[in-house]
Amino acid sequence: DAGVIQSPRHEVTEMGQEVTLRCKPISGHDYLFWYRQTMMRGLELLIYFNNNVPIDDSGMPEDRFSAKMPNASFSTLKIQPSEPRDSAVYFCASSDPGTNQPQHFGDGTRLSIL
Amino acid sequence: AQSVTQLGSHVSVSEGALVLLRCNYSSSVPPYLFWYVQYPNQGLQLLLKYTSAATLVKGINGFEAEFKKSETSFHLTKPSAHMSDAAEYFCAVSDLAGGYQKVTFGTGTKLQVIP
């Protein structure tokens, strides 16, 4: 089975530009999570969805960040305008429902804002 | 609120030595606990999970973890470290919040294996 697919794997752009990160979860998974990982702050949960509906976006750092899940097989995380401090690795993960179900992570998008 | 604490952000062991990575949890209900591993330039992968069926849980790559309720611990061990075990390890606890799955990750422990 295909795992969680993220694109692009790497993104380098100048500050002020719009950045869009994409995620395709594992088919049949009801939950989708977006994380950010940096050396300074570790792994941070940004937002998560259940059945395409955002459940908790309290981790989204600012209004510059937005996430959507228009259908069960696709989600985007947008940053507009981007800033150098947004540079990080962004992970998407998905899981089956149930507290005993593990999350399956994509390989991440390494974002560099110049 | 549920939480996990990983003691030691960096652990170094010699190749062939015992690996012990510590995790303590705080949960108001019987927890579901997980260990994940992250290799460089990759996402997190599940090593093992505890779901109350057995207190000693065996995972992939020779790792195992023991759930100790009295100590609120879920430490990860491997009898003999291999160079390929060098990675970052995350402990996580899962619970329900508002009727939805809520997962909290620890801050991670980087394992260095010395030849």
Residues of B contacting chain A (CB within 8 angstroms) = 32, 34, 36, 41-46, 49, 51, 90, 94-98, 100-103, 105, 107-108
Check if the beta carbon of residue A11 is closer than 8 Å to that of residue A113: no
User: Is A56 within 8 Å of B100 when comparing Cβ atoms?
Assistant: yes
> Which residues in chain B are closer than 8 Å to A2, comparing Cβ atoms?
none
Distance from CA of B100 to the nearest CA of A (A): 8
Q: Is the separation of the CB atoms in A34 and A84 below 8 Å?
A: no
According to the model, what pLDDT value does residue A1 have? 64
Dump pLDDT digits (tens) for A65-82.
999 999 999 999 999 999
Chain A nearest-CA residue for B96: A99
Mean pLDDT to the nearest integer, A5-33: 96
Nearest CA in chain B to A6: B43
Residue B2 CB contacts under 8 Å (≥ 6 apart), including other chains: B25, B26, B27, B28, B31, B93, B95, B102, B104
For residue range B45-77, list pLDDT tens digits in order: 999 999 877 889 999 999 999 999 899 999 999
Q: Buried (b) or exposed (e) across B3-15, using 16+ Cβ within 10 A?
A: ebebeeeebebee
Q: Which residue of B103, B104, B105, B107 to mutate against A (max A Cβ within 10 Å)?
A: B103
